[in-house]
Structure 1
């Protein structure tokens, strides 16, 4: 459950309320639109399913808890991001019966992957600087062999990095996008059959509709807030 991402987005939507001279609460219409958009994003990224697998709580119950918590906290704390965050975490615990440690562990799975990517990027940057510095000087046979070893290490690190980045990107795909990606992988370099072409078009049309609906909901939430 990407709480950090969700509240960063929430802060963007709430900026017209918090930046005004006198903070304004969200209307019920704005709250409903924000909740609907957030739930759609959670569904799109498979967050309820992955959180269910991690916690043992059904995806349906998690969605109900998410809707209730978000609506309740927006109603009472929409002008204060920090109170909103604290309220949401309290409500989620109350609605699901999960402990804070369980929520943190499950919500932190993506953080672990991000940290792995960051660590690899730091290693790659350090190794590239080392290689660049080494290449500036005349090298003995031993130093040349060491340089080749470092370049091989660099290739290996880049392979690991790309694999992690691909996994992270795949985790952000909607179910239709995952199906389309799987179809592309199955095809490889082969030409698609008529049935596969039809399936690809069906999936691409569905993905385009999803994007259009997301944009429409986002514009509605932003537009409602700016009209206040």
Structure 2
């Protein structure tokens, strides 16, 4: 159930960008992750949705989520699935909702679906590459094996194209409005020299993106 853990996963990246690899987080650093994760859920309206589904209040759902995050120790280096299971179990216990009801209350958003597709295609590509390499290591292929090699190579090329398209789709979903607007402007300019108006617009968008990034860092550190 990605909606319950997506805010946590998002919060880990800005922290690593700002601090680098941290073997053992301090209490303050842990609090920063919790604050950022809770803010993400609040901004998405997830606490309001949980309140409606459970018959409780958004404030109680926010408090519950904070406690579950700490109980699951989301700042530890653990597999995503382990964190996700812990979050689901904790929220299910606290709300009285089953995991299925939680999923219905907080359905996967398009970004989660796109990310899952990218991961699935990456696994398929890796598996097929491994099979191809194993087959190519044989210096004495039969005619049937050579034909199989050609078929597998064609399949791999197709999967790589699908993966590229899926990654581009995910990138689009992960962009902010200003990033998306800047990307569209750059595509429109192409190989041409930007006009004065286009150059000014690019500067405005880049400035706006820097402000958004600074706001994200301030939000992470509770400033």
TM score, norm. by length of structure 2? 0.61
Instruction: Give the match's secondary structure for 1:80.
Output: helix
Q: Does 1:129 align with 2:134?
A: no
Instruction: Give the match's secondary structure for 1:191.
Output: coil
- Asked whether the 8 Å contact 2:172–2:180 carries over to 1, the reply is yes
Partner of 1:206: 208
Instruction: Give the match's secondary structure for 2:193.
Output: coil
Distance (whole Å) between structure 2 residues aligned to residue 113 and residue 175 of structure 1: 18
* 1:34-73 matches, cutoff 5 A: 34=35, 38-39=39-40, 68=59, 71-73=62-64
Deviation of 1:160 (Å): 0.7
- Asked whether the 8 Å contact 2:38–2:65 carries over to 1, the reply is no
Q: 1:149-200 deviations in whole A, cap 9, x for unaligned?
A: 2212111101111111222222221111111112122223333222111111
Distance (whole Å) between structure 2 residues aligned to residue 141 and residue 79 of structure 1: 60
Q: 2:148 aligns with which of 146, 149, 154?
A: 146
* 1:11-30 matches, cutoff 5 A: none
CA 1:218–1:202: 2 relative to 1, 3 Å: same
Partner of 1:86: 91
Greater Cα offset, 114-123 or 128-137: 114-123
Q: 1:160 aligns with which of 162, 178, 184?
A: 162
Greater Cα offset, 123-132 or 143-152: 143-152
CA 1:181–1:10: 2 relative to 1, 3 Å: closer
Instruction: Give the match's secondary structure for 1:212.
Output: helix
Distance (whole Å) between structure 2 residues aligned to residue 89 and residue 168 of structure 1: 33
TM score, norm. by length of structure 1? 0.60
- Asked whether the 8 Å contact 2:36–2:220 carries over to 1, the reply is no
CA 1:148–1:214: 2 relative to 1, 3 Å: same
Q: 1:71-102 deviations in whole A, cap 9, x for unaligned?
A: 443687775346895289849x9xxxxx6453
Instruction: Give the match's secondary structure for 1:195.
Output: helix
Deviation of 1:9 (Å): 6.5
Which of structures 1 and 2 has the larger relative contact order (alpha carbons within 8 angstroms, sep 6+)? 1
Partner of 2:79: none
Q: What CA RMSD, in Å, does the superposition of the two structures yield over aligned residues? A: 4.5
Distance (whole Å) between structure 2 residues aligned to residue 119 and residue 173 of structure 1: 21
